[in-house]
A = this chain, B = another copy of it.
Amino acid sequence: MVISLEEMGKKARQSAFELAQTPTSLKNAVLNKMADALIEKEEEILTQNRLDLEKASEMPQNFTDRLTLDHDRILGMAEGLRQVASLPDPIGNEDSAWVNHAGLQIAKRRIPLGVVGMIYEARPNVTVDAAGLCFKSGNAVILRGGKEALRTNVKLCEILRTVVASSGLDENAVQIIQETSHEIANQFMQLTDYLDVLIPRGSARLIKAVVNNAKVPVIETGAGNCHLYVDKDAEFDMAEKIVVNAKCQRPSVCNAAEKLLIHEDVAEKFLPRVAQALEERHVELRGDERACAILGSRCRPATVEDWDTEYNDYILTIGIVDSLDEAILHINQHSTHHSESIITENYRASQRFLNEIDSACVYVNASTRFTDGFEFGFGAEIGIATQKLHARGPMGLNELTTIKYVIRGDGQVRE
């Protein structure tokens, strides 16, 4: 039986009340048992996954790749849950505490957000990741995955819920929407009475749709039109290594570089050598007029759209700029405010880039590929926020919390 969204919302609220008061030790025990259960139920999961894959046989291969589970991927999900169990619990931490003029003891305490809504696409591991992170941070979660992964997701969810219930907690800590229509997705985005936040994960198209349709507050994640800027004072070996890494190490992800800007003073020298390194890795090069003039037929003229496109593929668009100012202006206009990096040995240029680029993560002399909760040392990641409210950059457990002020008095009144 499919229950209504409102019903799910009510159940989630109730569970969230319980979860907010659940001690860390019990939450960790449940997470470890969830990991065990996934491994134990591998065959059941794979059976449902095969049914999903059969229905999705006409989809492109990179899609079915993402959808496919196997032994190692299930082990990976279980390992992820164990890692989350091992992380410090942010709930109850007091970021600051002080006494005000009237003698009130005021403390700013971390508490769960309450009920988190997740909207995502084909990867079934998001089901387990999101459920684990929300559970650890004391939030109830309502999941809405891609319809192609529905059977797999429902099975995963069922396993997690069984573990929660068998631990004496409300199984509605984790719920999944089983109806796959767009209407339901839209209703979900409007469920302001029950959802505290909506986190979309997936393609730029999905995120745009959520931002446009949601009434629930959204944390925008993911879209990454990331830029590298090779300054006139760049060290060429380092610059080449970083460009190749940021573009080629894993082009399908949001922190991969999509654009390369080069200072005109070094373009003649640096561009041909980096182009060769990229071509060896089968990267298609596009460029502005000046880049094309240097590279000739190796580079195809960039269109207006290129500058704003996240390829997630072996494509790089290259522009030559007159100055650091032009680079900063261009990046602030075209970036998705995810991650940008300058390669330079010049102190002043590095400072200006760090100060003036308006992105979640701004680098000097490093690959943008480091924008990641694990690389940052958060031990987990529910997404990478590209907006400015609440959270920005890689979001770990702490970003799934809010605060309340806890105030202890002994009879104080306002004069």
Contact = CB atoms under 8 A, between A and B. Distances in A.
A276 interface: no
A411 B215 CA distance: 43
A80 interface: no
B359 A407 contact: no
A83 interface: no
A388 to B, nearest CB: 4
A392 B403 contact: yes
Contacts of A218: 217
A100 B370 contact: yes
A113 B414 contact: no
A358 interface: yes
A24 interface: no
A134 to B, nearest CB: 14
B358 A114 contact: yes
A413 B242 contact: yes
How many copies of this chain are found per oligomer? 2
A68 interface: no
Interface string A25-64: 0000000000000000000000000000000000000000
Interface in A88-114: 98, 100-102, 104, 106, 113-114
Nearest to A355: B21
Given A196-B389, A366-B413, A388-B113, A405 B17 contact: no
A71 interface: no
A411 B365 contact: yes
A218 B192 CA distance: 13
Interface string A207-236: 000011001011100000000000000010
Contacts of A250: 414
Contacts of A113: 388-389
A177 interface: no
Contact of A100 (B212, B249, B369, B375): B375
A402 interface: yes
B407 A366 contact: yes
A106 B20 CA distance: 31
15 contacts: A20-B358, A100-B377, A104-B370, A106-B376, A113-B389, A114-B388, A197-B389, A245-B413, A350-B408, A354-B406, A358-B404, A366-B407, A367-B412, A367-B413, A392-B404
The 5 A-B pairs at the shortest CB distance, nearest first, are namely A366-B409, A245-B413, A369-B414, A390-B390, A388-B402
Interface of A: 17, 20-21, 98, 100-102, 104, 106, 113-114, 192, 196-197, 211-212, 215, 217-219, 235, 238, 241-242, 244-246, 249-250, 332, 350, 354-356, 358-367, 369-371, 375-377, 387-390, 392-393, 402-414
